[in-house]
């Protein structure tokens, strides 16, 4: 069952002054004035909203916080401990897959007298930690104490389609705590970030190995992200299956059930029904777990300790032989539309027809706005979105469905017989698998008409010249800065 | 559909036995008590019973006309006349679930005493008032109903399109074949009720269905294609047609698996059976005015007949002969309905294999995976008769590790492609090296699992006993 998870930032502010402790001085309050994307009319944005969170000073005159604390930011204001003066911060690096970000502050005086907090080691289960932050319910810094309940992989709600190691604690973590440090023995052993709403006395924080991975990744000036192998490993408990694969019934080794089309190198080196016996020297149980620093966790944790492009050592059972395989790992960006995105979506307007990428965010926006979106009517598009990595066909594997998100009504398109949320299959005879395909197809020399075919089998046409004239009028009428925007950006 | 071996050559005229006399509902309307088997597709081996009550009307040679709705699984039907008589056992003469019409006979000759068959109207009133009758608690209930409109809609029991009447009435809890009368003639039977509105199956349509069954012809047909309006002049112009307000465009052919030939995606349909089709898919019926073109399939034709379709294809006008296919759920990749049939299943080593169909999807009440909806919305796959899924896993040491493998779609067993339960049965007879290799569809959340072939029969027997299941399979 997928439990509802929430993240710990909230809205409201103000601070006062009080006693000091050296860690407290390094903890800052962050106010984010943000403007979120409009997934249906991508040239528009949401109204300005305000969110609060917490951050802490780290080496190099920087502030570490959660990515979700600074998402969609238009202005970031940071406050020192018990200091009413606002300082303006900018995002230096953001890792949406691990929900971490590093900020810089132009005014160097902000860091004066502040001790950078050091990142510690993975804490032990049952040990005690203290959380620091500016949660809802007051204006001053707040401390809560608790024990570490368990350590294992969790779904990170910010990207939604990524699982990384997380630590559960019974220390109260509330909205506004997000980005705040969790401290043990004067070292940061975590960053508070999310909770599960129907779990009582449970909050989650990001562990040191994820924090350190993020900091190491950005050392070269670019954030790549956490790599993976594209493997689906499944339990291998059934005695018949073990016997069929030539294995004894000893609870060692998990089975590779499937390999994602987004990882061709893995498909080359690993085969379905291979059995993973060891990863980086750790023995893998039949349930896919390893004993990692005293915690029973999935072996995938080891993959995520490495950086994009690095190789991992595997011992694999195949056809009665043990193979040593060095498997290269990569950050997968091809599934970006299946998770939450933090860039403004691309769009193309032609004759008042607005086309954009079909995505998880688009589906939610269309559904929440009640804009006649029905899952049952979009099974082909949803399949293309969420099942592309299951395909053997290379084109199907890279397809991002392109959807008609809006019709800006104009005499040219007033009788257009295809409704919004319809997904394109072909334009001017060219198959459409991306926004770039659409752009190329529209620019293709042809006859008098743009011809559109949709996945439902419906088709429509616009007179090219009428469409061009309509576009100019509609851009003016709706204050749209440009008829198209294909690159992904935050602006 | 069920038919008796006796064929009575009736024609429509014979139903008009009481056309001139005054209608007395108490001598013509009966209450039908239906005892039937019901099934839970999530436990396909379990059969339960249920009783429902509905209304019938005496027509022709003392036959009882009612809707087919609610009759699936019936095995004992009893008739009460006059609100308080003894229960007469009735036999189902025939039932047409696609058209939603059924006829009962009552063998006991004393049943006829004092009863008066009525006539079916051969026209459908388009305005004015009707009277709705039914038996309730031993008394005849009568309510008036105002005709809202006549339209072409889908049958309650199938995808067939035909004429229906929508009426407004204050009658409560209706839709169970209540009898609609217009003066002295039977106008139709109710099929559904919602928020003060009733849907009535017109007697004119029912008469056609009865005639078809009497003559034992091929049943009703269906236009197995989808279309869209062609209101955008630019779209027609892009196809070289300089028309306005005429024609619809074919968007999908053969989605029900009935007919894939003759029409092509992109064809512009200009006329069907001599009637011009406007840009909203309507034609002008000489009797009833503007109606949806879908009802032309059932207006004057039966399945197997040829209907001329005038269309625009490849920049020129053509006329094609469309052979009207007979409606059949079984030809769909995922049959939408199953009537008078218990669920099919096969239990092997605790794995419950079931064909994917509409009743199973509905029984899961939304708690099924997305792929069911995906394949349900797709036209039949080339060479695929159907889809087999794991409906349930009955936990046992034999299938340890497989307990959560439910609602998954089977692709192959022991290298053989699986489209129905016969395929499963045959594939399980050919294990590979002592194991059954079961492969799920590539888009499933699990792709492979293995079961011990030698231990399977013993495990199946143990599991059936443990879960008190009488039969290993029902195919």
Q: Do A244 and B435 touch (CB under 8 A)?
A: yes
Q: Assess contact for B108 and B99: CB atoms under 8 A.
A: no
For residue A44, give Cα distances in angstroms to A35, A39, A405. Answer: 10, 9, 13
Are A361 and A96 in contact, with CB atoms under 8 Å apart?
Answer: no
Residue A239 sits at the chain B interface (C-beta within 8 Å): yes
Cβ <8 Å between A241 and B233? no
In chain A, which among 354-413 make CB contacts under 8 A with chain B? 375-376, 379-380, 382-383, 386-387, 390-392, 412-413
Q: Do B399 and A238 touch (CB under 8 A)?
A: yes
CB proximity A416 to B under 8 Å: yes
B319-361: per-residue pLDDT in tens? 999 999 999 999 899 999 999 999 999 999 999 999 999 999 9
State how far the Cα of B166 lies from the Cα of B176, in Å rounded to an integer: 15
Catalytic positions of A? 68, 178
Give CA separation, A420 vs A404, B274, B311, B440, in Å: 5, 34, 28, 34
Residues of chain B positioned with their CB less than 8 A from the CB of A255: 448
Please give, rounded to a whole number of angstroms, the shortest distance from the CA of A392 to a CA of chain B: 9
Please give the pLDDT value at position B5.
36
CB < 8 Å from A in window 434-453 of B: 434-435, 437, 442-443, 446-452
Q: What is the structure's pLDDT at B21?
A: 59
What pLDDT does residue A87 have? 97
- CA–CA separation, B201 vs B192, rounded Å? 9
Q: Which of residues 247-266 of A touch B (CB under 8 A)?
A: 255, 257-258
First to last CA, chain B: 19
Q: Inspect the interface and report whether the beta carbons of A234 and B446 lie closer than 8 Å.
A: yes
Residue A449 forms contact with B (CB below 8 Å): yes
Look at residue B11 in the predicted model and tell me its pLDDT: 38
Pairing of strands A181-184, A128-133: antiparallel
CA distances (Å), origin A284, targets A102, A234, B16, B171, B256:
35, 12, 82, 68, 49
Q: Contact B435/A379, CB-based, under 8 Å? A: no
Q: Is A69 helix (H, G, I), strand (E, B) or coil?
A: helix
- Chain A closest-CA separation from residue B442 CA (Å): 6
SS3 string, A140-203, reads CCEEEEEEEEEEEEEEECCCCCEEEEEEEECCCCCCCCCCCEEEECCEEEEEEEEEECCCCCCE
Q: Do A272 and A259 contact (CB within 8 A), yes or no?
A: yes
CA atoms of B280 and A23, how far apart (whole Å) = 72
What is residue A371's predicted lDDT score, i.e. its pLDDT? 57
Q: Is A418 on the interface with B (CB under 8 A)?
A: yes
Cβ contact, residue pair B235, A460, below 8 Å: yes
Of the candidates A7, A120, A13, A128, the one whose C-alpha atom is nearest the C-alpha of residue A65 is A7
Cβ-defined contact of A458 to B228 (cutoff 8 Å): yes
Instruction: Tally A–B CB contacts below 8 A.
Output: 108
> Any CB–CB contact under 8 A between B260 and chain A?
no
CA-only gyration radius of chain A, Å: 25
| Beta-strand relationship, A275-279 and A282-283 | antiparallel
DSSP string, A96-148: TTTTEEEEEES-GGGGTTPPPPPB-PPPPTT-EEEEEE--TT-SS-EEEEEEE
Q: Please name which of A242, A451, A92 lies closest in space to residue B232, comparing C-alpha atoms.
A: A451
Is A464 in CB contact (< 8 Å) with chain B?
Answer: no
pLDDT top residue among A101 and B244: A101
Question: Please, is B286 exposed, middle or buried when counting C-beta atoms within 10 Å of its C-beta (0-12, 13-18, 19+)?
Answer: exposed
Q: Round to whole Å and give the CA distance between A84 and A15.
A: 7
CA-nearest residue of chain A to B226? A457
Q: Which residue has the tokens 């506004």?
A: A176
The pair of structure tokens assigned to B375 is 């394949």
Q: B1, B96 in Cβ contact below 8 A?
A: yes
List of chain A residues whose C-beta atoms are within 8 Å of the C-beta of residue B266: 459
Q: Residue A1: its pLDDT value, please? A: 42
Which DSSP symbol is given to B377?
A: T
Which residue spans within B203-247 are E strands per DSSP?
Answer: 225-229
pLDDT, chain B, mean: 91
- Average pLDDT across each block of 10 residues of chain A; the chain has 491 residues. List them in order: 50 34 86 95 94 96 97 96 95 97 96 95 95 89 94 94 95 91 96 86 94 97 96 92 92 94 95 97 96 93 95 96 97 91 95 96 85 74 88 83 95 92 94 96 90 94 95 96 85 61
A2 interfacial to chain B (CB closer than 8 Å): no
Residues 6+ apart with CB under 8 A from B95: B1, B2, B68, B71, B101, B102, B103, B339, B340
Please give the structure tokens belonging to residue A392. Answer: 């053997």
The secondary structure element, H or E, covering residue B29 is strand B29-39
| Alpha-carbon radius of gyration of chain B | 26
**Chain A residues with beta carbon closer than 8 angstroms to that of B414:** none
Please compute the mean of the pLDDT values over residues B441-470 and round it to a whole number: 95
Identify which of A255, A412, A456 has the shortest CB distance to residue B251: A456
Q: How far is B109 from chain A (nearest CA, A)?
A: 53
Coil, strand or helix at B263: coil
Contact B366/A at CB under 8 A: no
Chain A residues whose CB is inside 8 A of the B402 CB are: 238
Q: B229 to chain A: nearest residue by CA?
A: A417
pLDDT for B14 equals 39
**Optimal mutation site among B238, B313, B393, B428, interface A, most CBs of chain A within 10 A:** B238
How distant, in Å, are the alpha carbons of A211, B71, B175, B385, B406 from that of B158? 59, 14, 16, 20, 29
DSSP string across B390-453: EEEE---GGGTT-TT--S-BEEEETTEE-SSHHHHHHHHTS-BTTEEEEEE-TTSS--EEEEET
Distance CA B291, CA B299 (A): 11
Q: In angstroms, rounded to a whole number, what is the distance separating the alpha carbons of residues A159 and A96?
A: 6
* Chain B contact set for A451 (CB, 8 A): 238
**Contacts B377 to A, Cβ<8 Å:** 376, 379-380
Contact B234 A463 (CB under 8 A): yes
pLDDT at B268 over 60: yes
Give yes or no for a contact between B295 and B274, defined as CB atoms under 8 angstroms apart: no
Contact of A165 with A148, CB cutoff 8 Å: no
Query: How far apart (Å, rounded) are the C-alpha atoms in residues A25 and A7?
Result: 24
Shortest distance between the Cα of A377 and any Cα of chain B, in A, equals 8
Alpha-carbon gap, residue A124 to A203, rounded angstroms: 16
How many CA atoms lie within 13 Å of B373's alpha carbon, on the beta-carbon side? Answer: 17
Pick the residue from chain A with its C-alpha nearest to B451.
A240
Tokens 């759920």 -> residue: B329
Contact (Cβ atoms closer than 8 angstroms) between residue B184 and residue B19:
yes
Coil vs helix vs strand at A380:
helix
Among the partner-chain residues A382, A415, A462, the one whose CB lies closest to the CB of B231 is A415
Interface test with B, best of A1, A234, A240, A255 (most B CBs within 10 A): A240
* A419 at B interface, C-beta within 8 A: no
As a whole number of angstroms, the distance between CA A269 and CA A327 comes to 7
Find the closest chain B residue to A397 by CA distance.
B443
Distance CA A200, CA A402 (A): 42
Task: Give the torsion sign (CA, B65, B69, B73, B77).
Answer: negative
How would you classify the pairing of strands A187-196 and A5-7?
A: antiparallel
Question: Given the structure tokens 């056809």, which residue do they identify?
Answer: A319
Cα–Cα dist B376/A190, whole Å: 47
Q: Is A271 on the interface with B (CB under 8 A)?
A: no
Distance in Å, alpha carbon of B202 to nearest chain A alpha carbon? 32
Give the closest residue to A416 by CA, choosing from A469, A358, A464, A462. Answer: A462
Pick the residue from chain B with its C-alpha nearest to A428.
B238
Q: A1 in contact with B at a CB cutoff of 8 Å?
A: no
Q: Which helix (H) or strand (E) holds A319?
A: none
Residue range B75-88, pLDDT digits in tens: 999 999 988 878 99
Q: What is the rounded distance in angstroms from the CA atom of residue A192 to the CA atom of residue A215?
A: 17
Least CB–CB distance from B232: residue in A257, A390, A416: A416
Q: What residues have CB less than 8 Å from A322, skipping those under 6 apart?
A: A277, A315, A316
Q: Which residue of B has its CA nearest to A381?
A: B374
CB A420 within 8 A of CB A405: yes
Q: Do B231 and A244 touch (CB under 8 A)?
A: no
Alpha-carbon distance of B194 to B82, in angstroms, equals 28
Tokens of A78: 């940071």
> How far is it, in rounded angstroms, from Cα A354 to Cα A115?
51
Statement: residue B63 has pLDDT above 60: yes
Residues of A in contact with B264 (CB under 8 A): none
3-state secondary structure B154-207: ECCCCCCEEEEEEEEECCCCCCCCCEEEECCEEEEEEEEEECCEEEEEEHHHHH
Cβ neighbours of residue B396 closer than 8 Å, sequence gap 6 or more: B349, B350, B459, B462, B463, B466
The encoded tokens of residue B138 equal: 């031993």
What pLDDT is recorded for position A195? 86
* Closest chain A CA to residue B231: A415
B251 close contact with A: CB closer than 8 A: yes
Order across the sheet with B448-452: list the strands: B416-417, B410-413, B435-440, B448-452
**Residue A381 confidence (pLDDT):** 86
């Amino acid at each position: 069952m997928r439990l509802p998870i929430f993240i710990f930032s909230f809205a409201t502010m103000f601070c006062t002054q009080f006693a000091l402790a050296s860690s407290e001085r390094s903890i800052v309050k962050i106010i984010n004035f943000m403007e979120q994307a409009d997934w249906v009319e991508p040239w528009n944005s949401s109204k300005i909203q305000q969110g609060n969170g917490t951050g802490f000073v780290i080496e190099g005159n920087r502030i570490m916080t959660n990515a979700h604390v600074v998402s969609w930011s238009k202005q970031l204001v940071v406050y020192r401990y018990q200091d009413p003066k606002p300082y303006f911060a900018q995002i230096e690096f953001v890792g949406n897959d691990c929900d971490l970000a590093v900020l810089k502050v132009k005014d160097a005086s902000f860091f004066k007298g502040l001790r950078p907090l050091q990142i510690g080691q993975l804490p032990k289960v049952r040990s005690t930690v203290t959380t620091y932050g500016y949660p809802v319910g007051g204006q001053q810094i707040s401390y809560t104490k608790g024990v570490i309940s368990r350590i294992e992989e969790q779904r990170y709600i910010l990207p939604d389609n990524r699982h990384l190691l997380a630590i559960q604690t019974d220390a109260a973590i509330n909205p506004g705590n997000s980005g705040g440090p969790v401290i043990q023995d004067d070292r940061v052993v975590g960053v508070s970030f999310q909770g599960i709403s129907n779990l009582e006395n449970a909050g989650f924080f990001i562990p040191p190995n994820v924090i350190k991975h993020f900091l190491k990744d950005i050392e070269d000036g670019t954030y790549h992200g956490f790599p993976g192998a594209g493997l689906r490993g499944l339990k291998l408990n059934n005695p018949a299956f073990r016997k069929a694969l030539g294995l004894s019934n000893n609870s060692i080794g998990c089975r590779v059930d499937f390999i994602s089309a987004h990882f061709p190198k893995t498909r080359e080196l690993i085969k379905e029904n291979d059995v993973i016996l060891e990863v980086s020297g750790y023995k893998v149980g039949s349930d896919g777990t390893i004993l990692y620093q005293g915690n029973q966790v999935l072996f995938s944790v080891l993959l995520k300790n490495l950086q994009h492009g690095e190789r991992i050592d595997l011992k694999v059972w195949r056809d009665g032989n043990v193979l040593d395989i060095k498997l290269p790992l990569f950050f997968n960006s091809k599934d970006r539309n299946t998770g939450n995105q933090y860039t403004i979506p691309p769009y193309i307007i032609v004759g008042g027809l607005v086309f954009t990428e079909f995505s998880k965010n688009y589906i939610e926006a269309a559904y929440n706005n009640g804009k006649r979106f029905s899952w049952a009517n979009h099974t082909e598009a949803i399949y293309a979105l969420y099942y592309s990595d299951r395909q053997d066909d290379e084109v199907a594997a890279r397809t991002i469905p392109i959807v008609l998100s809006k019709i800006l009504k104009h005499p040219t398109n007033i009788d257009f017989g295809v409704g919004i949320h319809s997904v394109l299959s072909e334009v001017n005879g060219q198959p459409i698998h991306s926004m770039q395909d659409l752009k190329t197809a529209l620019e293709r020399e042809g006859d008098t008409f743009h011809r559109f075919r949709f996945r439902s089998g419906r088709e429509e046409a616009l007179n090219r010249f009428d469409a061009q004239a309509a576009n100019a009028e509609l851009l003016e009428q709706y204050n749209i800065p440009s008829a198209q925007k294909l690159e992904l950006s935050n602006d | 559909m069920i038919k008796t071996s006796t064929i009575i050559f009736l024609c429509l005229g014979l139903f008009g036995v009481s056309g001139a006399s005054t209608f007395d509902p108490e001598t013509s309307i009966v209450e039908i008590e239906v005892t039937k088997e019901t099934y839970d597709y999530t436990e396909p081996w379990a059969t339960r019973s249920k009783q429902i009550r509905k209304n019938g009307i005496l027509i022709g040679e003392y036959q009882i006309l009612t809707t087919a709705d609610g009759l699936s699984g019936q095995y004992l039907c009893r008739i009460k006349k006059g609100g308080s008589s003894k229960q007469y056992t009735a036999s189902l003469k025939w039932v047409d679930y696609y058209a939603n019409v059924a006829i009962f006979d009552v063998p006991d000759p004393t049943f006829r005493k004092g009863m008066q068959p009525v006539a079916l109207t051969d026209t459908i009133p388009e305005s004015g008032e009707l009277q709705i009758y039914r038996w309730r608690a031993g008394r005849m209930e009568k309510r008036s109903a105002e005709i809202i409109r006549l339209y072409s809609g889908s049958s309650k029991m199938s995808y067939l399109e035909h004429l229906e009447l929508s009426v407004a009435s204050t009658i409560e809890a209706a839709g169970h074949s209540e009898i609609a009368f217009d003066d002295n003639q039977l106008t139709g039977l109710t099929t559904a009720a919602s928020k003060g509105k009733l849907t009535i199956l017109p007697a004119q349509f029912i008469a056609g269905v009865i005639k078809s069954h009497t003559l034992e012809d091929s049943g009703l047909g269906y236009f197995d294609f989808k279309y869209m309006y062609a209101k955008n002049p630019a779209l027609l112009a892009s196809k070289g047609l300089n028309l306005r307000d005429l024609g619809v465009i074919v968007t999908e052919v053969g989605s029900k698996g009935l007919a894939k030939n003759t029409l092509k995606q992109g064809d512009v349909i200009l006329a069907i059976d001599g009637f011009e089709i406007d840009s909203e898919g309507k034609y002008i019926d000489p009797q009833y005015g503007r109606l949806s073109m879908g009802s032309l399939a059932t207006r004057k034709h039966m399945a197997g007949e040829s209907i001329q379709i005038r269309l625009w294809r490849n920049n020129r006008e053509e006329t094609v002969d469309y052979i009207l296919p007979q409606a059949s759920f079984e030809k769909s990749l995922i049959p939408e309905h199953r009537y008078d049939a218990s669920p099919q299943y096969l239990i092997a080593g605790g794995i419950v294999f079931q064909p994917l169909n509409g009743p199973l999807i509905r029984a899961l009440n939304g708690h099924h995976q997305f792929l069911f909806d995906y394949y349900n919305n797709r036209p039949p796959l080339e060479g695929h008769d159907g889809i087999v899924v794991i409906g349930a896993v009955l936990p046992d040491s034999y299938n340890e590790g497989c307990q959560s493998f439910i609602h998954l779609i089977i692709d192959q067993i022991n290298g053989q492609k699986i489209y129905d339960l016969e395929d499963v049965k045959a594939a399980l007879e050919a294990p590979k090296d002592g194991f059954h290799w079961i492969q799920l569809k590539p888009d499933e959340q699990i792709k492979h699992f293995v079961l011990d072939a030698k231990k399977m029969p013993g495990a199946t027997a143990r599991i059936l006993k443990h879960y008190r299941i009488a039969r290993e399979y029902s195919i």
